[in-house]
Structure 1
Amino acid sequence: MEFKMKKDVGFTTTTEYGELHVAGDEAYGFRPFQLMVASIAVCSGGVLRKILEKKRIQIEDMTIDTKVDRIEEEANRIEKIYIHYRIKGENLNENKIKQSIELASKNCPMAQSVKGSIEIEETFELV
């Protein structure tokens, strides 16, 4: 990826899906921490979805909510990411979903890339 400096604030890159604007100020694009949280949450959710499919556990829908703890005194670094899955389906087994989430966490490249530096807490509810 190539990022080009914008005249005002931030950088931009072009992907097959369009332009991505990244800046420290939300008025000019996505903030870097938002992209990191999105990468980890969506990667984990995508891996979870594949695991559930392989286990033949059918879900109707999944929503991922995130929350972030940052440490201002340490360059505002991300300390912890909370990922909460809301999974919709019929006759879902809580234990199987929990095991699948644990397996997904171990197989998500983005989560594994920050292992040891950012804590990730995953929870779920069946709706």
Structure 2
Amino acid sequence: MATNIVKTTWKENMQFESDNPSGLNLTMDAGEESGGEGKGYRPKALMLASLAGCSGLDVVSLLTKMRAEVADFKIDITAELTDEHPKFYNKVKVDYHFTDADLKPEKIQKAVNLSVTKYCGVMEMFRQFAEVEIEIHLHTIAN
């Protein structure tokens, strides 16, 4: 079984720095409305970025293997927090946007479905506490 270790250190005020198994560091900070200075990522928003990154890596890898590369690919995530503490995401919508002159809709659908249902561990974690909705958007560009 694989184990990841992340060390997080308080820097000042509401700011923390975390390392990563990749060797890169990131800074987290609260917004001014919560006593921070807004000089870093917000922890809950990082969760959404992790979801997009995990699924995005899967989809790009799968599309490459299927020979269905696209000119542009982006993921937009909209998430709703509960009103009561501890606040958590209870509804999450993941919009996959693909752009190309020669889109392959069946392969794109298959790649997204495999990521969502089989490969993306972050997606599976989100499903444990949130209602997750997926939508695929295809944008064709002229040759």
> Residues 10-49 of structure 1 correspond to what in structure 2 (within 5 A)?
10-15=15-20, 16-17=23-24, 19-25=25-31, 27-49=38-60
Which structure's CA Rg is the greater one?
Answer: 2
- Are residues 111 and 31 of structure 1, via their aligned partners in 2, closer, same or farther at CA, if it must alter by over 3 Å? same
Aligned-pair distance for 1:14?
A: 4.0
Distance 2:134 2:76 in 1: 10
8 Å CA contact 1:6, 1:12 repeated in 2: yes
Q: How does 1:1-12 map to 2 (within 5 A)?
A: 1-12=6-17
Structure 2 equivalent of residue 105 of structure 1 = 116
Deviations for 1:55-85, whole angstroms, at most 9, x for unmatched residues?
Answer: 1112111111111111112422111221112
Q: Distance in 2 between matches of 1:58 and 1:28?
A: 36
Task: Flag structure 2 segments of 5+ consecutive residues without an equivalent.
Answer: 1-5, 33-37
TM-fit CA distance, 1:53: 1.1
Structure of greater relative contact order (alpha carbons < 8 Å, 6+ residues apart): 1
| 1:122 shift after superposition | 1.7
- Counterpart of 2:62? 51
Find the residue that maps to 1:72 and give its secondary structure: coil
Contact 2:60 2:69 in 1 (8 A): no
Cα RMSD of the aligned pairs, angstroms, is 1.8
Q: Is the 8 A contact 1:9 1:28 kept in 2?
A: no
CA deviation map 1:37-66 (0-9, x unaligned): 000011101101111111111211111111
Contact kept? 2:14, 2:29, Cα under 8 Å? yes
3-state secondary structure, aligned to 1:66: strand
C-alpha distance in 2, partners of 1:77/1:36?
Answer: 11
> Normalised by the size of structure 1, how large is the TM-score?
0.86
Gaps of 5+ in 1: none
Distance 1:46 1:33 in 2: 20
Select between 104-113 and 8-17 the one with higher mean Cα deviation.
8-17
Runs of 4+ in 1 over 6 A off after TM superposition: none
- Matched residues, percent identical? 25
Once the two structures are superposed, residues 74-121 of structure 1 have per-residue CA deviations (whole angstroms, 9 ceiling, x without a partner) of 422111221112111232232332222111112111112232212222
Q: As a proportion of its length, which structure holds more helix?
A: 1
